[in-house]
Chains A and B, each alone.
Chain A
Amino acid sequence: MDEMTHLLGEKLLGAFLASGFVRAEPAMLQSAQIFLEMSGEEMRNKLLLVSNPAVSNLCLRPDYTLPVCLEYVGARLRAAGHAQGQAPADACEKICYLGPVFQMREAGQPHCFLECGLEDIGRGDRAQADADAVHLAVGALAALSARTLHIRYGDVGLLNAVVAALEFPPVHRRFIARAIKHNRDFDGMLEGQRPGGQPPYLGVLAALDGQSGKDAKKLMEDLLAIAGIVAVGGRTVGEIAERFLEKAALEAGADALADKQNWLARFLALTHSGDGTAAKLLAFAKEANIASKLEEPLDLFAAREVALHAAFARQPSKTAPVSFGFEARFVRNFDYYSGLVFEAVPADDLDGRAVAGGGRYDELLHKVSQGAFSAPAVGAAVFLDGLAGAFRK
């Protein structure tokens, strides 16, 4: 890593420190398990694992967000413990970091690069907090840059709200989430759920026809018990019965499905450059007749748009310009984020690797603390990976 990159990192960190963020230094060696649990199997091949006869399952940190959050949650819980059983005080923390992270890239290439970023934890004014995070990270980068930056962004919270508002059956809602995560189309939404076209166990379904949800489930559970089926492999008999009935119910609602699929497809195709995105989204919601169910996420979106506009309007004249492009389909790591999601790329290389990225993850602290602690959080990181060449001092 060259001097120019280090210098750039120091300057960015300086900007974060000047805005009231405090530097954290989490360990370079982390437990691999937490990363696997958060991100699943795809992470296994990205992690650089450390092995030694005495320890197993350690890795070099692939990013900062999880280590920072783990450290933060640990400290808050310890502090709460010392305060004689009191619940942790409202957590409001501004954390920043600068240092190397390690990942295995494609073709078996171990890779190390400098990451400089921030986490803003606990703020209730989400729209402003989002705007601040983006402005701090990308704005600071733009101030040091000779190249125009483009911010590509989406809103996972809004997307989830749209899917919920369209009232898809549970099986399809889960299918949609997977399709979005893997960037697939929704073809085969119905077909994929059953082989060969005929629903299984027609006799049972006929017997259940007309039963209320609770009765049907009880009947299913009894049938399974009679057949001697015991809970095996982490699913209860109740869960099996419930999903069996969910699948059976798919047959009934088949007609309305095409309509909902259409609205969802139209939403996912929405893009917009610059200002006025909130208005466009509201117009769509009204047309789809779901505006009343989307009030909260749409208000948040609008407030954030105003805050972002205001923040970037205040950029000093010498900084490189920054353009914005909303893409409804842009989700980055779908399970991780709960709201704003963004990436910054050079405007002349839109398909290239992102130079910065981040978003809002209100569920993350709850997950890493295994339910002990909860707080809203938004973060942004700059990936100082071969950037130096493009930037002036």
Chain B
Amino acid sequence: MSEPEDDFAAPFVMGVPSKGRLQENAQAFFASAGLEFVKGRGERDYRGAIAGFAGVEIAFLSASDIIGGLIAGALHFGVSGEDLLREASHRASGAVALLAPLGFGQAHVVVAVPKAWIDVATMADLADVASLCMARHGRRLRVATKYIALTQAFFAAHHISDYLIVESFGATEGAPAAGQADVIVDITTTGATLAANALKTLHDGTILRSRANLMAARGAMWGKAQRESARRLLMRVEAAEFARTHKLVRFMLGQEGHSQNGNGQNGHEAIAQLAATMRAQFGAVFPFGLPPQDGGESAPRVITALSPQSRVLALCEFLNAAGAYGMVVESAQAVFLQETTLYPALCAFLDGA
């Protein structure tokens, strides 16, 4: 398939949620990467752009429409929930890849039943109640949900067939009380809405743990220009993400506080060994490399390292014990490392099997 060298006709389009918490979080995420969304002129215009970043068109759509757009190849990138992609998986079949979780939108797709059903705690109990419903009332247990494919697969895996799905695209939690269904399959974050509707989840009733993801569509028009737009976008995103999940540690290793390593190694070797331990035990990365071999220079050396947020304080303890001093822990705004992972992953997806 020939790729257009210079394609003005097919802009690079990224779908972004148009409302709700997903919209707020997506906006904040990209803003922290220096990418501010700007809406098009006119209220009804669902297209926009990124301020100061040419070559990318933003399409403001519902989270489900973004999935549809990715599958159809109308969007190159999209921000949406894993739950919606998995629900559409039989249509997607490898056409859409999850590039990176974005650190928000965590939710579970769960089976929830009325709290009043004190005899039901597991899917096995639910299977039994479904059989009873059929035997006693001659009707099937009704399950209200918008996740038809996920529900079918999950119930089949638990050997429940005596049920019928009642399609519900909003306020699913209210369906049992309104008499439209007996149980529901819905997405939940804190569980507060379920509790407020007198519903409870089952011990083994979690179908999927979902997060918001940046997704890529194989079926879109990928020419040189589109790939370049994607590369630049991903570079910013990866830089912001790395900065968000890591902390900077600056510390001194000089003659005074020189790492007392009992083997009497010289300065450079000692630093190399320290760095190796930091990499191995604390996931440290050295964005400016290590101080050059100086052959006897006695001036104190500032070393800069980046470490995952969860391990940075343990790293400081270690450095302290190793004789480092003047440790400062900072947050970075963006970190552009030489080796990126997102763009290579995208290329592998687009070009691979």
Contacts and interface: CB of A to CB of B under 8 A. Distances in A.
Interface stretch (A1-9, A37-45, A291-299, A337-345): A37-45
Given A184-B159, A234-B133, A234-B182, A193 B116 contact: no
A42 B156 CA distance: 9
B119 A240 contact: yes
B46 interface: no
B128 A171 contact: yes
Contacts of B141: 234
Contacts of B128: 171, 174-175, 193, 243
B183 A182 contact: no
Contact of B121 (A174, A195, A240): A195
Given A36-B164, A42-B161, A44-B152, A178 B113 contact: no
Interface in B92-134: 113-119, 121-122, 124-125, 127-129, 131-134
Given A193-B128, A232-B116, A235-B129, A200 B152 contact: no
A182 B162 CA distance: 11
A174 B116 contact: no
B306 interface: no
Contact of B116 (A178, A201, A240): A240
A42 B153 CA distance: 10
A192 interface: yes
Nearest to B124: A192
A168 to B, nearest CB: 13
Interface in A75-108: 108
B131 A177 contact: yes
Q: Is the interface of B mostly helix, strand, loop or mixed?
A: mixed
A244 to B, nearest CB: 4
A230 B161 contact: no
Contacts of A237: 116
A233 interface: yes
Contacts, number: 106
Nearest to B133: A234
Chain B, interface residues (CB within 8 Å), range: 35 or more
Given A40-B140, A178-B127, A244 B116 contact: no
B113 A233 contact: yes
B176 interface: yes
B132 A243 contact: yes
Contacts of B142: 234
B203 A195 contact: yes
Contact of A193 (B124, B155, B182): B124
A174 B131 contact: yes
Interface string A274-294: 000000000000000000000
Nearest to A183: B159
B161 A233 contact: no
Interface in B187-235: 198, 203-204
A29 interface: no
B14 interface: no
A9 B305 CA distance: 80
Contact of A200 (B116, B121, B182): B121
A108 B93 CA distance: 12
The 6 closest A-B pairs by CB, nearest first: A233-B176, A232-B114, A244-B119, A174-B131, A192-B124, A233-B182
Interface of A: 36-37, 40-42, 44-45, 108, 171, 174-175, 177-179, 181-182, 184, 192-195, 200-201, 224, 229-235, 237, 239-240, 243-244, 247, 335, 367
Given A195-B121, A247-B119, 9 more contacts: A37-B140, A41-B152, A44-B148, A44-B165, A174-B128, A195-B122, A232-B115, A239-B132, A243-B128
